Structure 1
């Protein structure tokens, strides 16, 4: 996707936060997808998480292709992981809303327009997300599937799994929460759950408006990755229980769902491995 200067038009009051770690090959596409929005975000913040290679130079090169000040480059002094990088970007945000985008993901052109329409129609919403899909880089956006619907995400939904992919989320900057920097896995789910379980209203659009350009977490077939993900999920559930955001009954329900999901994924991995062996 070729970068181009943002148009001079009424935009969205949104700061886009993108944590960057050794992402020189993909960051231009990510920023270009923000610049291609039908309703342009007011600010893009690129946070270099002490990559130690040529990433920081690449970020400044990308920033220079846009009007001065639209892309802000922030350099973290030490590597702290995605939670710390996102929090650092949050500190530099100037707009009422923050959107998150990862340095190897991209957005569909109408993402910001549709999310801001929903937020402006319902000022009580503090967070809105949408669906995502794995898509080959450069393949073009998935067509919308009307009607566009906004669905409230209630307490029970957070007990099942993470309903909000990180690159789909737009939230209010003034929320009294941040990413927990002790967590390097499932840190996004912990934040969304803290917001939802604290009584704030969240919602989700029924459209695919952002894309992963590599297999989703665990899809590579590595059992160790799945085990690490499930351990992190267990830690998140304990953290929510410790802070009194879920009841013991909700905790055990969520734990039971997690065990079922882990068993199912192990079976799918075993089947995939067996099929691969037969094919070879």
Structure 2
């Protein structure tokens, strides 16, 4: 199998039980990356130290160990700044990719001259579909519409290193949405691939009926809108409009979680 000019960035924080699964999905790609960069975000446990040492023995993996816990965004920044590849693909340590993810996404980005792309993802419930590259459907992303809904889960995103933008320092919620928005609002072309090319193993929010993480996610989104306003990407009026829409989504998600919890326990 051929290798591509792609670096895969994987933040690692106490992920010893899932990291092998994630890396296996990268090693099983029909188009292999140039390298896999794992950033140990100061896991600082004996179990994780053993796992990191095991990963170091794999020739295609580069380990970067941080001296303090910086969060996934800053960890990805470290990996991005140390990459010489043309493209960077992001994967979280508890997610996996479809075997043709890099091949399909790289081909589309090369064809369209895209600077960022994402694709559909879902919970892993069945065997992955087989895709014909020529039949894959995708469309150009409208930046304004993107602000209403993040269609790019981190596990789906590939960017060009020439974009030269990074995750916001010290931001641990909605840091991915903020970066994708800044790229798209800076007139870099982005595309959304409609096929499912990555998989998660948990619901995107409200896992187990808990709303604590949901509230943090909501606050992170509001903060992202305010940062975009402060940087001049969007107007004050549009920022307030987006924040109002996010509040409505937050209420809807809470109602949905409560309803699902009652249904499961009835």
TM-score normalised to structure 1 length: 0.89
- Is 2:213 aligned against 1:213? no
RMSD: 1.6
- Is 2:236 aligned against 1:248? yes
- Is 2:100 aligned against 1:110? yes
Q: Helix, strand or coil: the match of 2:170?
A: coil
Conserved in 2, the CA contact under 8 Å of 1:133 and 1:210? Answer: yes
Corresponding residue of 2:4: 12
- Is 2:77 aligned against 1:90? no
Structure holding more helix per residue: 2
Counterpart pick for 1:158 among 129, 132, 146? 146
Instruction: State the distance in 2 between where 1:143 and 1:97 align.
Output: 24
Q: Offset at 1:143? A: 4.1
Q: How does 1:101-250 map to 2 (within 5 A)?
A: 101-123=91-113, 125-135=114-124, 140-144=127-131, 147-250=135-238
Q: Helix, strand or coil: the match of 2:202?
A: coil
Instruction: State the distance in 2 between where 1:104 and 1:237 align.
Output: 27
Corresponding residue of 2:52: 59
Q: Helix, strand or coil: the match of 2:207?
A: coil
Instruction: State the distance in 2 between where 1:31 and 1:239 align.
Output: 34
TM-score normalised to structure 2 length: 0.94
Q: Offset at 1:62? A: 2.8
Corresponding residue of 2:13: 21
Instruction: State the distance in 1 between where 2:74 and 2:17 align.
Output: 22
Count of residue pairs the alignment pairs up: 264
Instruction: State the distance in 2 between where 1:194 and 1:56 align.
Output: 36
Instruction: State the distance in 2 between where 1:17 and 1:277 align.
Output: 40
